Amino acid sequence: MWGVLFLGWDAFYIVLLYWTENIVVGFYNVLKMALAPMPHPAAHLGKLFLIPFFIVHYGGFTAVHGFFVMALFHDGGQGPPMGKMNWPCFLVFVQMLFNVIKYMYSVIPRQVRLAVLALFVSHGVSFVQNYLLKREYAAAKPEKLMGSPYGRIVVMHIAILAGGFLTMAIGSPAPLLAVLVALKTILDVSLHNRSHKKAKA
């Protein structure tokens, strides 16, 4: 918020960075689900349904939010070009996500690409340190992991609705950023403490 208000940063790229973290969280959540232990080998077959379902469902929500973030707040006011949406059945949502990511990568400057990379590294360090080395995976259950990232989706949804009207009224995405910063900081601290306390217990 300081950078946007006093240093001339473009609020759109910061909002887009918040959206990108949803992708990062979803990516590592798939790894967590894949590595979660099961009571017997045959139970791993359930992951063949849970993981693709999560990718399609969570990916679909993330794609739609990314589309609206860029359609509402990027210069020109146009959403990402979707091209041909020809993947079969529900996989079209995954194709939409790939198209949004591809377009996002093409419009962000080098500094924001480095910030995206930093998000992947940061969450990757946490994944290795906490989930693997501290054996949080021992208490993990794929069905619970599947629902854990959706709080972030709700935050993005509320921010788009609440901040979007203010943004259109004053012509700046700063209100959306303010809503995101407030909600996401509260959510991140709460979820971080809760998840690691449960795993430690």
Could you report the per-residue pLDDT of 63-86, keeping only the tens digit for each?
988 888 887 777 655 666 666 777
Q: What pLDDT was estimated at residue 66? A: 87
Q: What is the pLDDT of residues 140-158, one digit of tens each?
A: 898 889 988 887 777 777 7
Distances from the Cα of 102 to the Cα of 115, 158, 166, angstroms = 16, 25, 28
Tokens of 121: 């590294």
Predicted confidence band at 32 (pLDDT cuts at 50, 70, 90)?
A: very high
Tokens of 175: 């209100």
Q: What pLDDT was estimated at residue 89? A: 82
201 C-beta neighbours (distance < 10 Å), count: 6
Tokens of 11: 């609020």
Q: What pLDDT was estimated at residue 117? A: 95
pTM of the shown model: 0.81
Query: Residues 6 or more apart from 36 whose CB is under 8 A from it?
Result: 47, 137, 140, 141, 142, 145
Predicted confidence band at 170 (pLDDT cuts at 50, 70, 90)?
A: low
Q: What pLDDT was estimated at residue 33? A: 94
Question: Is the distance from CB of 158 to CB of 184 less than 8 angstroms?
Answer: no
Predicted confidence band at 118 (pLDDT cuts at 50, 70, 90)?
A: very high
- Which pairs count as long-range contacts for 74-83, CB under 8 Å and 24+ apart, including other chains? 74/12, 74/107, 75/12, 80/104
Mean pLDDT, the chain, whole residue set = 83
| Per-residue pLDDT at 169 exceeds 80 | no
Predicted confidence band at 167 (pLDDT cuts at 50, 70, 90)?
A: low
